[in-house]
Amino acid sequence: MADGRALPQNHRPLGLCPKHRAGQESVYRAVNSKRPVNLDISTIKLPLPALTSITHRITGIILFIGLIFAFWALDKSLSSPAGFYAVQDALANSLLAKLVAWGLLSALAFHFVAGIKHLLMDLNIGVTLESGVRKAQITVVVSAVLVILAGVWVW
C-alpha cells in the first residue's frame, strides 16, 4: 500500500473476485446484446408505486415554483391594508387565483401524503412489493380526499 502497510494474503482487487467478475460479465452481455430497446416512455406501463413516486417529484417542483406566487401574495398582503384587500379580493373573485390556490393546495396535499409514504419506506416499514402497492393505493385515495376538501374550501 502507499503508506507502507502490506495487504493481507487473501486480498484480491475488486475486479478479480469471482463474484464481481460474474457481475461484470452479465453487465457486459446486457450492454452488448442485440435485443431491441424500447425508449418510448408512452408505451411503458409503470406500476402504481412508480407513478406515485414520479408524481411526488412533480408536485415538489410545482410547490417550488408555486412559492413564487405564494410569497408574492404574502408580500403584497403585508405591505399595506390596500394590498391585503387586493389579495383577498383576488382570492374571492378571480377564477385564475382560485385555480392557482387550489392547484397549490392539491400539490401540497399529494406531496405531503406521498412524503409520509417515502418516510415509512426509509424506516423499512412496508418495503415488500405488496405493501408498496397498497401504500400507493392509500396515497392516491387519501390525496384524492384532501384534494376534494381543498376544492370545497377554495370554491
- Among 115, 98, 76, 117, smallest CA distance to 155 is for 98
Alpha-carbon distances of 143 from 70, 85, 126, rounded to whole Å: 21, 31, 19
Q: Report whether 111 belongs to an annotated binding site.
A: yes
In degrees and rounded to multiples of 5, residue 47 shows phi and psi of -70, 160
- Give the side-chain half-sphere CA count within 13 A for 19: 3
Fill in the DSSP letter of residue 39: -
Residue list for the binding site: 111
Known binding-site residue numbers for heme: 111
